[in-house]
Amino acid sequence: MPVSILIPCYNADRWVAQAIESALAQTCSEKEIIVVDDGSQDGSLEVIKNFGARVRWETGPNRGGNVARNRLLELARGEWVQYLDADDYLLPPKIERQVTFLLEHPTCDVVYSPTLWVNWSEGGTTQEVTAIPEPHDPWVLLARWWLPQTGGPLWRRQTLIDVGGWKPDQPCCQEHELYLRLLQAGAEFCYFEECHAAYRHWSLSETVSKRNRAELRRQRLEIEERMEVFLRSRGELTDPRLQALNQARFEIARGAWLEDPAEARQIVDVIQRRQPGFAPAPPAARRRYRFLYQMLGFSAAERMAAFTRGLTGRTTR
């Protein structure tokens, strides 16, 4: 089963060699490796060229990560595609193990697996597996932001083409927006429990989602809203899916409270209209907070949490 390993690169000369090497080290026999350099201004292109004929590559002006991913999709010849951001890497059996799984699940369009979260700093590295909780309903997983980052899945190339690929102007939440359109189109998501993809968390300031938390909230809430509208229209908004959507909104509201209480209250108002009697779940809302929320409301619970933080010097939920 041929697989195209697709690597978009922008100013990643520190990491891109490891990404390419991890692609070359994949134990699957039928693979091609394609790199698109998205107008890097550092030494990334020279690093890519050093791999010679072992990879296909092209470069052009900087047009954004999703444009580069779509160009890679155009260049791919495999039936399946593995996206790999230039600052991430794969463990050698990743693709072979997922392809073997797909042989037993021929109708699957996206096979997704846990990823290894690698916290990197100049002082050292820690890592942990980001588990994907049960039940493996992809709608619930998307609502809770539990589907894996870009490198975790193996994607059927034609299915991505059929939904129009990546949205070029999506500033953040890019894989989540794509996941939503795939689910809306009826793509079949299949869970495979093994973890062989590493996501390196290292930049504190470079991504849109880290620079602009308000924009991240807006984009995520838009995806949650599109999801709910679609599921309601299809009669598929089950109680667990509604609870997942509103738990996600609640967690977003808690994050917004310290920056913009009015925005946070607006989010909670949506929850109360869509699901009267909603009760937030831990760990975002522990017992004492839940009691205050249910008895006095969101704003009072947040003010009490802030007061307690001031007394104890630690976060109280």
| Domain ranges for the chain | 3-209, 212-312
Q: By CB neighbour count within 10 A (0-12 exposed, 13-18 middle, 19+ buried), where does 103 fall?
A: exposed
- pLDDT-based confidence at 310, cuts 50/70/90? low
**Alpha carbons within 13 A on the beta-carbon side of 248:** 25
- What is d(CA 82, CA 174) in angstroms, rounded to the nearest whole number? 16
- Each residue of 71-101: pLDDT tens digit? 999 999 999 999 999 999 999 999 999 999 9
- pLDDT-based confidence at 55, cuts 50/70/90? very high
pLDDT of residue 58: 98
Cis peptide leading into 135, omega within 30 of 0? Answer: yes
* Range of weakest confidence among 142-156, 192-206, 241-255: 192-206
Average pLDDT over residues 274-289: 94
pLDDT of residue 123: 82
Average pLDDT over residues 158-180: 97
User: What's the CATH number of domain 3-209, 1.10.3720.10, 3.90.550.10, 3.40.50.2300, 3.40.50.2000?
Assistant: 3.90.550.10
pLDDT of residue 306: 84
CB-CB contact of 134 with 244 (8 Å):
no
Mean pLDDT of the chain: 94
- Each residue of 3-12: pLDDT tens digit? 999 999 999 9
pLDDT of residue 311: 53
Average pLDDT over residues 267-287: 95
